Amino acid sequence: MISKISENTWQIDEFGLVNAFLAEGEDKAALIDTGAGLSDIRSAVRKLTDKPLEVLLTHSHSDHSGGLYHFYDTPIHMRSEDEGLRLWGMRTDNEFRRMYVRTRGKERKEELDALIPEGNPDCTYFKYENIEDGMIIDLGSRALKCIHTPGHTDGSVSFLDEKNRLLFSGDTVNRSIILMREEDNSLKKVRVLHDTLLKIRNLSSSFDYLVIGHGSPRLEKSIISDYIEITEGLLSGSLSGEYEERGFRKGDVIRLGSAELWYRCDS
Ligand SMILES: [Zn+2]
């Protein structure tokens, strides 16, 4: 489903599972993430714009990059730390897509199963240009500033659109952040996320909303303070979460205000 969320900006919602976004400038358009590869996202994009396209990945998890096979003739930008996720065994083919619709789609398993693409397109290997922190993607009278925001993955990037006052934050900041367990069970990733949240808070006079990778796309930026309170509390030892299993999430979870952080996650 396609919804306009701001001037020349659309949410491309892949069956309620994951969001991609199209941001059009005067000269070029940027597709931020590609969905899991369950839909013909290329045709959807081409109905909205005929301008030259670039693909920007917030991170390389397969639900955000599984549609890349539609764009191998298009410049793709990603942060290089996230290449390892794919090469170390993260599936990006139909085995992943089947697992994804079965674990995420609640009531509509058969309907979603029918969306698995033919030919088992795999997106493990693709050519990309590395995203530098602070790099500007100039779309013509509209720019996206690339901000390295590690935490959810080492190579996570957010895109600041100062003109439309939006921060596309992917899974870096959303309604339920997930951090995987460290081998030594430490809070290393919580510290990394904490630094990222401070970096985002420093930019917060430049945007009004976060635009996120799952669910309703606009998120109030006040959630950033709730997350900072959580990460500060965990790092100082004044707060701690409890182990929980809910849907596909398994790990320690802590909730505060509108924020929910899953850390030490095993899946
Ligand atoms: Zn993710």
Contact 175, 212 (CB under 8 A): yes
Taking only the tens of pLDDT, the chain with its 267 residues reads: 999 999 999 999 999 999 999 999 999 999 999 999 999 999 999 999 999 999 999 999 999 999 999 999 999 999 999 998 777 778 889 999 998 988 886 667 778 888 999 999 998 889 999 999 999 999 999 999 999 999 999 999 999 999 999 999 999 999 999 999 999 999 999 999 999 999 999 999 999 999 999 999 999 999 999 999 999 999 999 999 999 998 889 999 999 999 999 999 987
Where are any strands of DSSP class E within 136-228?
136-138, 143-148, 157-161, 166-170, 177-180, 209-212, 218-220
Dihedral sign for Cα atoms in the order 156, 152, 86, 119: negative
72 Cα to the center of ligand 1, angstroms: 21
Pairing of strands 76-78, 53-56: parallel
pLDDT (0 to 100) of residue 22: 98
Which is nearest to 59 in space by CA: 197, 153, 136, 182?
153
Full set of structural domains in the chain with CATH: 2-175+195-221 (3.60.15.10)
171 Cα to the center of ligand 1, angstroms: 5
152 Cα to the center of ligand 1, angstroms: 7
3-state secondary structure of 158: strand
189 Cα to the center of ligand 1, angstroms: 14
Q: Any residues with CB less than 8 A from the CB of 197 and at least 6 apart, and which?
A: 151, 173, 224, 227, 228, 231
213 Cα to the center of ligand 1, angstroms: 8
27 Cα to the center of ligand 1, angstroms: 30
Give the containing element (helix H, strand E) for 11: strand 9-14
227 Cα to the center of ligand 1, angstroms: 17
pLDDT (0 to 100) of residue 107: 67
Longest dimension (CA), the chain: 53
Contact 169, 149 (CB under 8 A): yes
pTM of the prediction? 0.96
106 Cα to the center of ligand 1, angstroms: 19
261 Cα to the center of ligand 1, angstroms: 13
214 Cα to the center of ligand 1, angstroms: 9
By the 10 Å C-beta count (0-12 exposed, 13-18 middle, 19+ buried), 245 is classed as: exposed
222 Cα to the center of ligand 1, angstroms: 22
Residues around the ion ligand 1 (C-beta < 5 A): 61, 171
60 Cα to the center of ligand 1, angstroms: 7
